[in-house]
Chain A
Amino acid sequence: MTGMMEITTSHYVVLSTLLLLVGVVGILTRRNILVLLMSVELMLNAVNINLAAFSASLQQVHGQVFSIFVITVAAAEAAVGLGILIALFRNKQTIHADEIDLLRW
Protein backbone atom coordinates (compact mmCIF):
# COMPACT_ATOMS: atom_id res chain seq x y z
CA MET A 1 0.00 0.00 0.00
CA THR A 2 1.73 3.10 -1.18
CA GLY A 3 -1.03 5.33 0.16
CA MET A 4 -3.76 7.29 -1.53
CA MET A 5 -1.63 10.40 -1.84
CA GLU A 6 0.86 8.78 -4.21
CA ILE A 7 -0.03 9.58 -7.81
CA THR A 8 0.53 6.56 -10.02
CA THR A 9 -0.01 5.77 -13.67
CA SER A 10 -3.43 4.32 -12.88
CA HIS A 11 -4.58 7.73 -11.63
CA TYR A 12 -3.82 9.14 -15.05
CA VAL A 13 -5.58 6.23 -16.74
CA VAL A 14 -8.72 6.83 -14.66
CA LEU A 15 -8.64 10.57 -15.43
CA SER A 16 -8.23 9.79 -19.13
CA THR A 17 -11.15 7.34 -19.03
CA LEU A 18 -13.43 9.93 -17.42
CA LEU A 19 -12.42 12.59 -19.96
CA LEU A 20 -13.07 10.16 -22.82
CA LEU A 21 -16.48 9.41 -21.31
CA VAL A 22 -17.39 13.10 -21.20
CA GLY A 23 -16.42 13.31 -24.87
CA VAL A 24 -18.58 10.31 -25.75
CA VAL A 25 -21.59 11.78 -23.92
CA GLY A 26 -21.07 15.06 -25.77
CA ILE A 27 -20.89 13.33 -29.15
CA LEU A 28 -24.02 11.28 -28.52
CA THR A 29 -26.29 13.87 -26.93
CA ARG A 30 -25.64 17.29 -28.43
CA ARG A 31 -27.21 18.62 -31.64
CA ASN A 32 -24.81 21.42 -32.50
CA ILE A 33 -22.10 20.20 -34.87
CA LEU A 34 -19.58 22.66 -33.43
CA VAL A 35 -19.99 21.04 -30.00
CA LEU A 36 -19.66 17.61 -31.62
CA LEU A 37 -16.28 18.64 -33.06
CA MET A 38 -15.25 19.97 -29.62
CA SER A 39 -16.19 16.61 -28.10
CA VAL A 40 -13.87 14.91 -30.58
CA GLU A 41 -11.09 17.18 -29.34
CA LEU A 42 -11.90 16.15 -25.75
CA MET A 43 -11.56 12.47 -26.67
CA LEU A 44 -8.26 13.04 -28.48
CA ASN A 45 -6.96 14.82 -25.39
CA ALA A 46 -7.94 11.86 -23.24
CA VAL A 47 -5.77 9.68 -25.50
CA ASN A 48 -2.90 12.15 -25.19
CA ILE A 49 -3.05 12.04 -21.37
CA ASN A 50 -2.69 8.27 -21.55
CA LEU A 51 0.23 8.47 -23.96
CA ALA A 52 2.06 11.04 -21.83
CA ALA A 53 1.47 9.05 -18.63
CA PHE A 54 2.76 5.79 -20.09
CA SER A 55 5.64 7.61 -21.75
CA ALA A 56 6.74 8.85 -18.34
CA SER A 57 6.25 5.55 -16.55
CA LEU A 58 8.17 3.62 -19.22
CA GLN A 59 10.92 6.27 -19.26
CA GLN A 60 10.70 6.61 -23.04
CA VAL A 61 9.73 9.52 -25.25
CA HIS A 62 7.95 7.43 -27.90
CA GLY A 63 4.59 8.14 -26.32
CA GLN A 64 5.20 11.87 -26.49
CA VAL A 65 6.14 11.58 -30.18
CA PHE A 66 2.87 9.72 -30.74
CA SER A 67 1.01 12.50 -28.94
CA ILE A 68 2.53 15.02 -31.33
CA PHE A 69 1.18 12.98 -34.25
CA VAL A 70 -2.23 12.84 -32.56
CA ILE A 71 -2.21 16.64 -32.22
CA THR A 72 -1.25 16.93 -35.92
CA VAL A 73 -4.15 14.72 -36.96
CA ALA A 74 -6.45 16.70 -34.65
CA ALA A 75 -5.43 19.94 -36.36
CA ALA A 76 -6.10 18.44 -39.80
CA GLU A 77 -9.43 17.05 -38.62
CA ALA A 78 -10.51 20.39 -37.17
CA ALA A 79 -9.56 22.29 -40.33
CA VAL A 80 -11.40 19.93 -42.68
CA GLY A 81 -14.36 19.49 -40.32
CA LEU A 82 -14.86 23.21 -39.91
CA GLY A 83 -14.53 23.69 -43.69
CA ILE A 84 -17.26 21.11 -44.23
CA LEU A 85 -19.35 22.86 -41.58
CA ILE A 86 -19.05 26.21 -43.37
CA ALA A 87 -20.05 24.63 -46.68
CA LEU A 88 -22.95 22.90 -44.97
CA PHE A 89 -24.15 26.09 -43.30
CA ARG A 90 -24.01 27.90 -46.64
CA ASN A 91 -26.25 25.28 -48.24
CA LYS A 92 -28.62 24.31 -45.43
CA GLN A 93 -28.56 27.31 -43.06
CA THR A 94 -28.34 25.02 -40.06
CA ILE A 95 -25.63 23.59 -37.83
CA HIS A 96 -27.82 21.07 -36.04
CA ALA A 97 -26.97 17.46 -36.70
CA ASP A 98 -30.54 16.17 -36.61
CA GLU A 99 -31.80 18.68 -39.17
CA ILE A 100 -29.39 17.42 -41.82
CA ASP A 101 -31.51 14.57 -43.16
CA LEU A 102 -31.10 14.76 -46.95
CA LEU A 103 -30.50 11.03 -47.17
CA ARG A 104 -33.39 10.06 -44.92
CA TRP A 105 -36.14 8.18 -46.71
Chain B
Amino acid sequence: MALDSVLFYVLAVLILTSAILTITRRNVVYAAVWLINTLVGVAGIFLLRGAEFLAGVQVIVYIGGIMVLFLFVIMLVSNEDEALQRRFSNQKWLALACAVAVCGMLAVIVVRGVGGLDHPGMAEAPPLGSITQNSQQVGEVLFTQYLLPFELASILLLVAIIGAIVMSKTRKRAAEG
Protein backbone atom coordinates (compact mmCIF):
# COMPACT_ATOMS: atom_id res chain seq x y z
CA MET B 1 0.00 0.00 0.00
CA ALA B 2 2.61 2.51 1.06
CA LEU B 3 4.90 1.69 -1.86
CA ASP B 4 2.05 2.25 -4.31
CA SER B 5 1.28 5.64 -2.79
CA VAL B 6 4.90 6.76 -2.76
CA LEU B 7 5.36 5.65 -6.38
CA PHE B 8 2.21 7.47 -7.43
CA TYR B 9 3.28 10.75 -5.84
CA VAL B 10 6.83 10.48 -7.21
CA LEU B 11 5.48 9.81 -10.71
CA ALA B 12 2.90 12.60 -10.42
CA VAL B 13 5.56 15.14 -9.44
CA LEU B 14 7.82 13.88 -12.24
CA ILE B 15 5.03 14.12 -14.83
CA LEU B 16 3.83 17.58 -13.84
CA THR B 17 7.25 19.22 -13.44
CA SER B 18 8.44 17.72 -16.73
CA ALA B 19 5.25 18.88 -18.46
CA ILE B 20 5.64 22.43 -17.14
CA LEU B 21 9.30 22.46 -18.20
CA THR B 22 8.21 21.17 -21.64
CA ILE B 23 6.00 24.16 -22.29
CA THR B 24 8.37 26.76 -20.81
CA ARG B 25 11.80 25.89 -22.23
CA ARG B 26 13.13 28.28 -24.87
CA ASN B 27 15.23 25.62 -26.62
CA VAL B 28 12.96 23.19 -28.47
CA VAL B 29 15.38 20.29 -28.02
CA TYR B 30 15.21 20.72 -24.23
CA ALA B 31 11.42 20.82 -24.49
CA ALA B 32 11.46 17.54 -26.43
CA VAL B 33 13.71 15.87 -23.84
CA TRP B 34 11.42 17.03 -21.01
CA LEU B 35 8.45 15.69 -22.98
CA ILE B 36 10.24 12.31 -23.17
CA ASN B 37 10.58 12.53 -19.37
CA THR B 38 6.84 13.13 -19.07
CA LEU B 39 6.08 10.16 -21.31
CA VAL B 40 8.29 7.89 -19.20
CA GLY B 41 6.36 9.03 -16.14
CA VAL B 42 3.05 8.25 -17.83
CA ALA B 43 4.39 4.79 -18.73
CA GLY B 44 5.14 4.33 -15.01
CA ILE B 45 1.54 5.31 -14.19
CA PHE B 46 0.36 2.64 -16.65
CA LEU B 47 2.52 0.08 -14.86
CA LEU B 48 1.02 1.14 -11.52
CA ARG B 49 -2.45 0.53 -12.90
CA GLY B 50 -1.57 -2.94 -14.15
CA ALA B 51 -1.48 -1.99 -17.84
CA GLU B 52 1.89 -3.49 -18.71
CA PHE B 53 1.22 -3.86 -22.43
CA LEU B 54 0.14 -0.23 -22.64
CA ALA B 55 3.33 0.85 -20.86
CA GLY B 56 5.37 -1.05 -23.45
CA VAL B 57 3.43 0.52 -26.31
CA GLN B 58 3.92 3.93 -24.71
CA VAL B 59 7.71 3.53 -24.55
CA ILE B 60 8.08 1.94 -28.01
CA VAL B 61 5.64 4.05 -30.03
CA TYR B 62 5.74 7.38 -28.20
CA ILE B 63 9.34 7.63 -27.12
CA GLY B 64 10.91 5.42 -29.75
CA GLY B 65 8.77 6.61 -32.65
CA ILE B 66 7.04 9.92 -32.21
CA MET B 67 9.72 11.68 -30.16
CA VAL B 68 12.50 10.60 -32.52
CA LEU B 69 10.40 12.03 -35.36
CA PHE B 70 10.06 15.25 -33.36
CA LEU B 71 13.81 15.46 -32.84
CA PHE B 72 14.46 14.88 -36.55
CA VAL B 73 12.10 17.69 -37.49
CA ILE B 74 13.64 19.99 -34.86
CA MET B 75 17.00 19.45 -36.55
CA LEU B 76 15.45 20.14 -39.98
CA VAL B 77 13.64 23.38 -39.15
CA SER B 78 15.84 24.85 -36.43
CA ASN B 79 16.45 28.58 -36.56
CA GLU B 80 19.70 30.08 -35.34
CA ASP B 81 17.93 33.12 -33.93
CA GLU B 82 15.58 31.08 -31.78
CA ALA B 83 17.27 32.39 -28.63
CA LEU B 84 16.42 35.95 -29.62
CA GLN B 85 12.76 35.24 -30.27
CA ARG B 86 9.90 35.82 -27.88
CA ARG B 87 8.75 32.57 -26.35
CA PHE B 88 5.12 33.43 -25.65
CA SER B 89 2.56 35.00 -27.92
CA ASN B 90 1.03 38.46 -27.46
CA GLN B 91 -2.15 37.02 -26.03
CA LYS B 92 -0.40 35.10 -23.25
CA TRP B 93 -2.20 36.76 -20.31
CA LEU B 94 -5.60 36.32 -21.95
CA ALA B 95 -4.67 32.73 -22.74
CA LEU B 96 -3.56 32.13 -19.17
CA ALA B 97 -6.85 33.59 -17.89
CA CYS B 98 -8.79 31.28 -20.22
CA ALA B 99 -6.73 28.31 -19.04
CA VAL B 100 -7.38 29.21 -15.38
CA ALA B 101 -11.10 29.45 -16.16
CA VAL B 102 -11.02 26.01 -17.78
CA CYS B 103 -9.11 24.74 -14.75
CA GLY B 104 -11.78 26.15 -12.45
CA MET B 105 -14.56 24.43 -14.38
CA LEU B 106 -12.69 21.13 -14.44
CA ALA B 107 -11.94 21.49 -10.72
CA VAL B 108 -15.65 21.95 -9.96
CA ILE B 109 -16.49 18.89 -12.04
CA VAL B 110 -13.76 16.79 -10.45
CA VAL B 111 -14.59 17.90 -6.89
CA ARG B 112 -18.27 17.10 -7.42
CA GLY B 113 -17.53 13.86 -9.21
CA VAL B 114 -14.75 12.21 -7.23
CA GLY B 115 -17.16 11.09 -4.52
CA GLY B 116 -18.90 8.90 -7.06
CA LEU B 117 -15.64 7.39 -8.30
CA ASP B 118 -14.55 5.91 -5.02
CA HIS B 119 -17.36 3.68 -3.91
CA PRO B 120 -16.14 0.32 -2.65
CA GLY B 121 -15.20 -2.07 -5.39
CA MET B 122 -14.03 0.57 -7.80
CA ALA B 123 -11.10 1.76 -5.73
CA GLU B 124 -9.58 -1.61 -5.08
CA ALA B 125 -6.18 -2.50 -6.42
CA PRO B 126 -5.88 -3.84 -9.97
CA PRO B 127 -5.61 -7.60 -10.25
CA LEU B 128 -2.10 -8.87 -9.97
CA GLY B 129 -1.22 -10.46 -13.27
CA SER B 130 1.89 -11.27 -15.17
CA ILE B 131 2.77 -9.29 -18.28
CA THR B 132 1.62 -12.13 -20.51
CA GLN B 133 -1.80 -12.12 -18.87
CA ASN B 134 -2.32 -8.44 -19.51
CA SER B 135 -1.09 -8.70 -23.09
CA GLN B 136 -3.29 -11.72 -23.66
CA GLN B 137 -6.38 -9.97 -22.35
CA VAL B 138 -5.71 -6.86 -24.42
CA GLY B 139 -5.01 -8.94 -27.52
CA GLU B 140 -8.18 -11.00 -27.14
CA VAL B 141 -10.38 -7.91 -26.85
CA LEU B 142 -8.49 -6.09 -29.60
CA PHE B 143 -8.79 -8.87 -32.16
CA THR B 144 -12.39 -9.86 -31.46
CA GLN B 145 -14.54 -7.00 -30.25
CA TYR B 146 -12.43 -4.19 -31.71
CA LEU B 147 -11.35 -5.89 -34.93
CA LEU B 148 -13.00 -3.35 -37.26
CA PRO B 149 -11.54 -0.28 -35.47
CA PHE B 150 -8.19 -2.06 -35.48
CA GLU B 151 -8.27 -2.46 -39.26
CA LEU B 152 -9.48 1.12 -39.67
CA ALA B 153 -6.53 2.25 -37.56
CA SER B 154 -4.17 0.53 -39.98
CA ILE B 155 -5.81 2.41 -42.88
CA LEU B 156 -5.47 5.64 -40.89
CA LEU B 157 -1.76 5.00 -40.39
CA LEU B 158 -1.31 4.27 -44.12
CA VAL B 159 -3.06 7.51 -45.02
CA ALA B 160 -0.93 9.39 -42.48
CA ILE B 161 2.29 7.92 -43.89
CA ILE B 162 1.36 8.87 -47.45
CA GLY B 163 0.20 12.30 -46.32
CA ALA B 164 3.41 12.98 -44.42
CA ILE B 165 5.53 11.97 -47.42
CA VAL B 166 3.50 14.08 -49.84
CA MET B 167 3.58 17.08 -47.49
CA SER B 168 7.28 17.04 -46.81
CA LYS B 169 8.79 16.08 -50.17
CA THR B 170 10.27 18.78 -52.38
CA ARG B 171 8.66 19.45 -55.71
CA LYS B 172 11.54 19.57 -58.17
CA ARG B 173 9.55 21.17 -60.98
CA ALA B 174 8.10 23.90 -58.79
CA ALA B 175 11.56 24.67 -57.41
CA GLU B 176 13.03 25.06 -60.92
CA GLY B 177 10.15 27.08 -62.33
| Interface of A: prevailing SS | helix
Q: Which A residue's beta carbon lies closest to that of B23? A: A26
* B23 with A52: CB separation less than 8 A: no
* A31 with B45: CB separation less than 8 A: no
Contacts of A18 in B (CB 8 A): 16
Please pick, from B49, B110, B127, the residue contacting A10 in the complex, using a CB distance under 8 A.
B110
Tell me the complex Cα distance, A19–B103, Å: 11
Please pick, from B61, B77, B88, B113, the residue contacting A86 in the complex, using a CB distance under 8 A.
B77
Interface size on A, residues (CB 8 A): 74
Tell me the complex Cα distance, A64–B54, Å: 7
In the complex, the 4 A-B pairs of residues with the closest C-beta atoms, listed nearest first: A83-B167, A26-B23, A28-B95, A76-B160
B contact residues vs A (CB 8 Å cutoff): 1-2, 4-5, 8, 12, 15-16, 19-20, 22-23, 28, 31-32, 35, 38-39, 42, 45-46, 49-51, 53-54, 57-58, 61-62, 65-66, 69-70, 73-74, 76-77, 79, 82, 85-92, 95-96, 98-99, 102-103, 106-107, 110, 113-114, 117-118, 122-124, 126-127, 134, 137-138, 141-142, 145-146, 149, 153, 156-157, 159-161, 163-168, 170
